[in-house]
Amino acid sequence: MDHLFVINVEGAVYKEDKWLFIRRSMKEEHAGGHISLVGGTVDHEGFSSEILERTLRRELFEEVGIEVKEEIQYVRNTSFVTDSGTQVVDIVFLCEIEKGEPYPKSLDEVDEVLWLTTEEILSREETPDFLKENMKAAERLKRKEIVV
């Protein structure tokens, strides 16, 4: 009865027409050297509320030194299995940067910070399909937000 998952949260963080990405450190166990959104795993806290949002805020600050605006919106979720066999549920949230200029604050996790448009990330050969789908969904949600 192996039903346990690691929960991972990621931020589709935007500033005007660009999205924040990182190149994951080669020291990372999973997907080292790959481009990804900023995020991380949810810690065990027992009874808790807003654990996903708090985890995302913590990870954004720890990895790239930024804070995002109060409103964080759910984009989509997926599941995957890491190279070591860990089953992960990944949840992506839409966030707007509020404070700080992102930089590779955690060198064990981040080699580089990138600001890319949706078109730029979609046109890169190295961008995995799941990240392209995450960004298409985030872009749709963001556009709907701006129109309202």
**What pLDDT does residue 1 have?**
44
pLDDT band at 31 (very low <50, low <70, confident <90, very high): low
Pairwise pLDDT comparison (91 vs 48), residue with the higher score: 91
Print the domain residue range for 38. Answer: 6-147
Output the pTM of the full model. 0.90
Q: How many domains does the chain have?
A: 1
Please, what is the average pLDDT of the chain?
Answer: 90
**What pLDDT does residue 95 have?**
97
For residue 1, being part of any structural domain is answered with: no
What is each CA distance from 100 to 6, 66, 127, 143, in whole angstroms? 29, 5, 26, 24
CATH of the domain at 77: 3.90.79.10
Mean pLDDT of 5-33: 87
